[in-house]
């Protein structure tokens, strides 16, 4: 399908898209740019699936009794929504699509360090995804994406093992991608591209890769132990078998909290690139923004216990995890302040990518600040397990990460496809997504504070008004997500041809044609200046 739609006109110069044709040239490609497109198509597919589950959930909750499905079905819907969106969309989104496409271009290399591993990682991802889809068709799974024991290991009669295997397999794809990025960034930077000349997207991708390589194996071990208990009744997590039910949560969150940073750090990297370009400014406090990514990645491994404040965890453990969680807020705040300061005395234009980036800052700021309520022990006791948590993490993972992903797609689309999209439609979509998002998730903060627990298939009638508001907002949000899908597809055939550097951006990826040739650069570039050299002296770019 992608070959047909991406087929450029005959007179186009040779590039990675028209270098070869036919399904074999895609499925056996070792070109990082083509692999990025394989990921783009696959994660879009999973986004649509995960999104459809969300639509059904929001319809269900319009009625306090549950509008359309039985509770068992609703439980499967929110479980698969979470599993698909987190493991098959958000985690691979920016790293596997934009990272794959951009890391070699940004470092000035012809490909990633291990092109075959890169292709393998996509196949692993697909196999994991198919396992999960199989389970969805073969009866679904109802444990929540968190798979808490002993419910998942002993009590659930659904396809826990199939989904767990799907997630387990996909984890290896993340590990390989992270490994590839780390090696590429360390060893394949073009002459002159020192660490502190690297674009912040590379810093963010580097920090993310560290989390992927260090964290994902813990998830794999956890799932392995879960399957061991589920299939062979080895007592690990279930007290009836002599296990410890909380051990699972410790292991699970040791990966799954850092996983949130796998989603948000790359988005922060994208936003840094976009703001610099559309304000024509060097990122204010470049080094501090770069180091704050690393700080978030490191601190992210030390805060898992804040998911467990009400489990009966000791008071002292609670206090320490609370303190460490507050510490993560500091580098996050520093980033927002530096982005804001970057705008100062800039030359700001309002092209679509910039609107997405601004939307990111707005929603991420809200998500970050509401995180303080949950890092605070006393308020978390009330808010834990309620819709407040749901709202908070959607502000980070959808408001933040998806907004950043869309911003990145819009920023680099001319480079990826060689075509331009209609800026007006893109700006409209950004506005609709921003508004629809707030309408959907803001009411959920109030619902949570009022005490409505999450994962309820039906609920007391007094919560209905806010639930209807949220569902209405979700309709707007859904429309907002559909529009880019349409005009981006349209632009691949009908969009105006993009010049090599349509935004007047710095960075090596803009110094090669759009779309780039298979070998990226005819000659390996030499870097002589810092990232974001937008000031007057460097005005002579392309």
Partner 1 sequence: MQGFPFQPEQASTVARSVDELYLFLTALTVFFSTVIFATIFYFMIKYRRRSPGERPKAIEGSLPLEILWTAIPTLIVAVIFVWSSSLYVRNAEPPKGAMEIFVTGKQWMWKVQHPEGQREINELHVPLGRPVKLTMTSEDVIHDFFVPAFRVKKDVLPGRYTSMWFQPTQLGTFHLFCAQYCGAFHAGMIGSVIVMEPDEYERWLAGSVQGESPEAAGEKLFLQQGCGTCHLADGTGPGPSLLGVYGNQVKLTTGDSVLADDGYMRESLLAPRAKIVAGYIPIMPSFQGQLTEEQIGNLIAYLRVLGKLQPPKPKEEGKK
Q: Binders of partner 1 among 156-195, rule CB under 8 A? A: 156
- The single residue among 327, 427, 435, 476 that binds partner 1, judged by CB under 8 A, is 327
Distance of closest approach, residue 71 Cβ to partner 1, in angstroms: 6
Binding of residue 22 to partner 1 (CB under 8 A): no
Binding of residue 311 to partner 1 (CB under 8 A): yes
Return d(Cα 396, Cα 360) in angstroms, integer.
9
- The single residue among 21, 28, 123, 155 that binds partner 1, judged by CB under 8 A, is 155
Distance of closest approach, residue 255 Cβ to partner 1, in angstroms: 19
Tokens standing for 138?
């073969």
- The single residue among 337, 485, 526, 528 that binds partner 1, judged by CB under 8 A, is 337
Cβ-contact 466, 496 below 8 angstroms: no
**CB nearer partner 1, residue 174 or residue 386:** 386
**CB nearer partner 1, residue 12 or residue 450:** 450
**CB nearer partner 1, residue 186 or residue 287:** 287
Residues 225-284 that bind partner 1 (CB under 8 A): 238-240, 242, 245-246, 279-282, 284
Measured CA distances, 7 to 19, 26, 27, 484, 520 (Å)? 10, 12, 16, 20, 19
CB atoms near residue 285 (< 10 Å): 17
- The single residue among 3, 117, 120, 144 that binds partner 1, judged by CB under 8 A, is 144
Binding of residue 529 to partner 1 (CB under 8 A): no
Q: What would the x/- binding string for partner 1 be over residues 86 to 125, using CB under 8 A?
A: ----------------------------------------
Give which of 83, 86, 96, 90 is closest to 131, Cα–Cα: 83
Cβ-contact 244, 237 below 8 angstroms: yes
Return d(Cα 510, Cα 141) in angstroms, integer.
45
Return d(Cα 378, Cα 362) in angstroms, integer.
27
Binding of residue 464 to partner 1 (CB under 8 A): no
Return d(Cα 290, Cα 297) in angstroms, integer.
11
Distance of closest approach, residue 455 Cβ to partner 1, in angstroms: 4
Angle, CA 201 vertex, CA 425 and CA 36 arms, to 5°: 65
Residues 413-452 that bind partner 1 (CB under 8 A): 446, 449-451
Return d(Cα 527, Cα 532) in angstroms, integer.
12
Tokens standing for 227?
């399957």
Distance of closest approach, residue 168 Cβ to partner 1, in angstroms: 22
Distance of closest approach, residue 437 Cβ to partner 1, in angstroms: 15
The interface region with partner 1, picked from 106-114, 334-342, 400-408, 511-519 by CB under 8 A, is 334-342
User: How many residues of this chain bind partner 1 (CB under 8 A)?
Assistant: 93
Residues 353-412 that bind partner 1 (CB under 8 A): 358, 361-362, 365-366, 369-370, 372-373, 375-379, 381-382, 384-386
* Segments in 16-70 forming alpha helices (H): 23-27, 32-60
Binding of residue 539 to partner 1 (CB under 8 A): yes
Angle, CA 517 vertex, CA 514 and CA 520 arms, to 5°: 95
**CB nearer partner 1, residue 99 or residue 371:** 371
Residue 374 half-sphere exposure, CB side, CA atoms within 13 Å?
Answer: 27
**CB nearer partner 1, residue 12 or residue 427:** 427
Cβ-contact 115, 32 below 8 angstroms: yes
Distance of closest approach, residue 161 Cβ to partner 1, in angstroms: 17
- Whether the CA torsion 275, 281, 285, 287 is positive or negative: it is positive
Using DSSP's 3-state secondary structure scheme, residue 419 falls into strand
- The single residue among 350, 431, 496, 542 that binds partner 1, judged by CB under 8 A, is 350
Return d(Cα 352, Cα 429) in angstroms, integer.
9
**CB nearer partner 1, residue 138 or residue 319:** 319
Binding of residue 472 to partner 1 (CB under 8 A): no
Return d(Cα 94, Cα 411) in angstroms, integer.
13
């Amino acid at each position: 399908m992608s070959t047909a739609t991406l087929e450029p006109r005959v007179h186009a110069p040779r590039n990675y898209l028209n270098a070869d044709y036919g399904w074999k040239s895609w499925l056996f490609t070792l070109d990082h740019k083509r692999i990025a497109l394989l990921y783009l198509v696959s994660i879009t597919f999973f986004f649509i699936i995960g999104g459809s589950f969300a639509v059904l959930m929001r319809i269900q909750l319009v009625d306090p009794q549950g509008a359309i499905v039985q509770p068992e079905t609703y439980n499967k819907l929110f479980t698969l929504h979470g599993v698909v969106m987190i493991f098959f969309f958000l985690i691979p989104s920016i790293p596997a699509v934009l990272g794959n496409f951009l890391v070699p271009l940004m470092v000035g290399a012809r490909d990633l360090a291990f092109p075959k591993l890169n292709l393998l990682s996509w196949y692993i991802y697909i196999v994991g995804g198919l396992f999960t889809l199989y389970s969805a068709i073969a009866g679904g799974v109802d444990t929540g994406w968190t798979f808490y024991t002993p419910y998942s290991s002993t009590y659930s009669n659904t396809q826990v093992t199939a989904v767990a295997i799907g997630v387990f397999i996909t984890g290896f794809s993340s590990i390989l991608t992270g490994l590839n990025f780390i090696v590429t960034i360390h060893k394949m930077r073009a002459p002159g591209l020192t660490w502190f000349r690297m674009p912040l997207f590379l810093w963010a991708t580097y920090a993310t890769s560290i989390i992927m390589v260090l964290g994902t194996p813990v998830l794999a071990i956890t799932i392995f132990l879960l399957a061991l208990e589920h299939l062979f009744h080895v007592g690990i997590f279930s007290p009836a078998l002599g296990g410890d039910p909380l051990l699972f949560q410790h292991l699970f969150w040791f990966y799954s909290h850092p996983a949130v940073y796998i989603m948000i750090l790359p988005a922060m990297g994208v936003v840094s690139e976009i703001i610099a370009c559309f304000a024509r400014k060097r990122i204010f406090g470049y080094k501090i923004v770069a180091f704050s990514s690393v700080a978030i990645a490191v601190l992210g491994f030390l805060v898992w216990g804040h998911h467990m404040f009400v489990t009966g965890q000791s008071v002292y453990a609670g206090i320490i995890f609370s303190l460490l969680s507050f510490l993560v807020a500091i580098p996050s705040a520093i980033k927002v302040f530096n982005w804001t300061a970057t705008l100062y005395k800039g030359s700001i234009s309002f092209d679509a990518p910039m609107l997405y980036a601004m939307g990111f800052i707005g929603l991420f700021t809200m998500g970050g600040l509401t995180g303080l309520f949950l890092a605070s022990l006393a308020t978390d006791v009330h808010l834990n397990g309620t819709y407040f948590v749901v709202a908070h993490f959607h502000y980070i993972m959808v408001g933040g990460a998806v907004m950043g992903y869309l911003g990145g797609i819009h920023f680099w689309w001319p480079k990826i496809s060689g075509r331009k999209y209609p800026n007006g439609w893109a700006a409209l979509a950004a506005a609709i997504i921003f508004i629809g998002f707030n309408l959907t998730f803001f009411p959920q903060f109030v619902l949570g504070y009022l005490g409505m627990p999450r994962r309820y298939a039906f609920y007391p009638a007094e919560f209905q008004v806010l639930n209807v508001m949220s569902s209405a907002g979700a309709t707007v949000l859904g429309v907002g997500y559909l529009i880019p899908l349409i005009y981006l597809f349209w632009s691949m055939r009908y969009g105006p041809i993009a010049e090599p550097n349509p935004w007047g951006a710095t960075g090596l990826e803009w110094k090669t044609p759009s779309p780039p040739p298979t070998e990226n650069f005819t000659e390996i570039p030499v870097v002589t200046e810092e990232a974001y050299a937008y000031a007057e002296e460097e005005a002579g770019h392309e």
